[in-house]
Structure 1
Amino acid sequence: MSKQEFNQFLKEISIEPITVIDTAICIKKYKPIVISRENKDLTKFNISSSNEWEEYINKFLVDNNAKVAFGGYLEKRNIYDRSDYFKNQLENEKRNIHLGIDLWCKVKTKVLAALDGEIHSFKNNDNYGDYGPTIILKHQIEEEVFYTLYGHLSLSSIEKLKVGDTVLQGNVIGFLGDASINGNYAPHLHFQIIKDLEGSFGDYPGVSSQEKLDFYKNNCPNPSLLLKLSI
């Protein structure tokens, strides 16, 4: 499929929004948030501090009468500057363009399978600023095979998993982790769609450099095609 055809395929999987966190949280309680350099509020606290990030997110939710703050697809973010993990010194590339959607909410929030599928892989990606515990699901609809990635989970989320286990849409597959395990972030889910895992297991880049963005835009479509969320 071409990029356009695959995007249309994803869009038509469901007319209604697909939920990847606790369905007890009403969609009306979701509020878009921008965490790029365009958000001047980010200059008012230490963006290297997970505690200050959590305070900022919690205040944002209260101020907006919301339970979930969401956004971030193809957003250029300064937050990744804090970690050498996002810098490729050999190729002089800086990865700072986000390839998934983040859903910022309370620690231990339930994380749900977006679609029927199976456990492809899981891993604790424990680099500073990385995903922490991560689950990748494999999906096949008609002849199309693709993957969804769920990052920043609790450690318990991956302790009893088995590769190949069947999951159904809406099954609880994990819970959001706190900063001590999730890569040192305020609690949130990183949700990403991936066409080709390129041999990856339990991990896949969630942030791109400008130099490689065209490839990743094609390989990682906008998660809002499933979630029906828009800024």
Structure 2
Amino acid sequence: MRIEELFKQHDVETHPVVKFNTALPLDLGAQNEALSKVDLNNEASFDQFIFNQIASSGKDVGIGGYGEVRSLYSRSELFEGEEPRTIHLGIDIWSKAGTPVYCPFQGEVHSFANRNVHGDYGPVIILRHKLMDLEFHTLYGHLSKSSIENLSVGQKISTGDQFAFMGTYEENFHWPPHLHFQLIRNMQGYKGDYPGVCKSSGKEDYLTNCPDPSFFIY
């Protein structure tokens, strides 16, 4: 059974991972020609591209990216290889640094780390959740350094608890402030990390293991 269907079937309360009233769908896909005019390795340029769109729309945040094919990862060696990784496995919520992040459903800290490599998550937290007999995980990337201070594996976090903040450009390792939010069925042995972007050849398996997390956002 799909995770979303199980929550609906049992009428289980959840909490949005970020509080907002209105959202602008943001396209960072490879077909967006506007991206070709942006210096993605320049903080001001990348920041303006994202936040000027949000401001001009009058919306609170920018949201998008699940399953999106992106060429922008070529700016980092982290995603390169014989077959580059281009498929985004989570949803990005773009907002100012310091924006609070909330627990969507009761759980505990599975793992955390500071992935301090250009293009990576920077500070990241992974929570483990269980509903009935179903165990699943949620990943929160591009957080502030303060979010992982005084954190411990196994620490309980309740539905609606504010437990992290979005990081600055420097903290979240050279991305404009945003939350990468990802739903993961099986962690496959990973701790403090899980791929947020996959190769096209692995798309089917990864998107099956990482279903659309929109249910915990809207």
When normalised by structure 1's length, the TM-score is 0.89
* Paired residues for 1:72-111 under 5 Å: 72-88=65-81, 92-111=82-101
Q: Deviations over 1:180-221 (max 9, x none)?
A: 110200000000000000111111000010011111011000
- 1:123 to partner: Cα distance: 0.3
Residues 224 and 11 (structure 1), Cα distance of their counterparts in 2 relative to 1, 3 Å cut: farther
* Paired residues for 1:206-225 under 5 Å: 206-225=196-215
When normalised by structure 2's length, the TM-score is 0.94
* CA distance in 2: counterparts of 1:39 and 1:16, whole angstroms: 37
SS at match of 1:211: helix
* CA distance in 1: counterparts of 2:14 and 2:61, whole angstroms: 15
2:5 matched residue in structure 1: 8
Q: In the alignment, which of 159, 165, 171 is matched to residue 161 of structure 2? A: 171
Q: Quick one: percent identity of the two aligned structures?
A: 39
Q: Which amino acid aligns with 2:216?
A: L
Which blocks of at least 5 consecutive residues in structure 2 are unaligned?
Answer: none
SS at match of 2:143: coil
* CA distance in 2: counterparts of 1:79 and 1:15, whole angstroms: 37
How many equivalent pairs are there?
218
The 8 Å contact of residues 48 and 79 in structure 1, kept in 2 or not, is answered as no
* CA distance in 2: counterparts of 1:6 and 1:99, whole angstroms: 16
2:57 matched residue in structure 1: 64
* CA distance in 2: counterparts of 1:116 and 1:16, whole angstroms: 10
Q: Deviations over 1:13-72 (max 9, x none)?
A: 768884111x3x32xx21111111222221222122232111111211111001200000
Pair 1:162-2:156 in alignment: no
Which blocks of at least 5 consecutive residues in structure 1 are unaligned?
Answer: none
Q: Which amino acid aligns with 2:40?
A: I
- 1:10 to partner: Cα distance: 5.2
Q: Which amino acid aligns with 1:107?
A: A
Pair 1:40-2:40 in alignment: no
* CA distance in 1: counterparts of 2:29 and 2:160, whole angstroms: 31
Residues 132 and 12 (structure 1), Cα distance of their counterparts in 2 relative to 1, 3 Å cut: farther
* CA distance in 2: counterparts of 1:14 and 1:155, whole angstroms: 35
1:50 matched residue in structure 2: 43
